[in-house]
Chains A and B, each alone.
Chain A
Amino acid sequence: AQKITQTQPGMFVQEKEAVTLDCTYDTSDPSYGLFWYKQPSSGEMIFLIYQGSYDQQNATEGRYSLNFQKARKSANLVISASQLGDSAMYFCAMREGGKKLVFGTGTRLLVSP
């Protein structure tokens, strides 16, 4: 069974607009963590944001926020005021129970001028 599902293979957004990248997860473990990573064309993996399953508030890091809806098992990434440099692949990931991290298949975001 797919643990992390990213249903949007590609997304387009205009510069300065906000965009939401979807992520749903599947786990029966009450303790888990959710992550978002950015992978630009250069290939490196850049950590963006983390949300713990017990966190009451949605995580925010600058222009990034994680819309955590526990009952729906979703952890969408919201990027506000998109910039051209935001064009990249974005991966959602989950750590459950032990120390393994499971990744989704990614969403390619293209920001146009």
Chain B
Amino acid sequence: NAGVTQTPKFRVLKTGQSMTLLCAQDMNHEYMYWYRQDPGMGLRLIHYSVGEGTTAKGEVPDGYNVSRLKKQNFLLGLESAAPSQTSVYFCASSYIGVNQETQYFGPGTRLLVL
């Protein structure tokens, strides 16, 4: 049981390049999320998904796209990277039960856009 994994762990991009971050979870969770973390700003939600084939915008969706073709995977795409997208990206999945909810986070991806 690997929990939530993220690929890659670290990446350097030039302005205008594109890339896809992969998140995978093996806990059969319905809900998955992408966050970015910047110094002094906590975590901000980019996009999320409440099930296979569905996605929704979070607080800061501009410049990102997502897809949830399979229940266990949630992809985050940057079509044309900008220096403002330099950040640490976290993926999470969650189980929501009766009177209980837990979010499990991946280890994070450090992205540097030059």
Contacts and interface: CB of A to CB of B under 8 A. Distances in A.
Interface of A: 4, 33, 35, 37, 43-47, 50, 52, 54-55, 91, 93, 95, 98-106
A95 B103 CA distance: 11
Interface of B: 31, 33, 35, 40-45, 48, 50, 56, 58-59, 88, 90, 92, 94, 96, 99-105, 107-108
Given A43-B88, A47-B102, A100 B108 contact: no
Contacts of B88: 43
Given A47-B104, A91-B43, A100 B99 contact: no
7 contacts: A45-B105, A45-B108, A47-B105, A50-B100, A50-B101, A91-B42, A101-B103
B102 A99 contact: no
A85 to B, nearest CB: 18
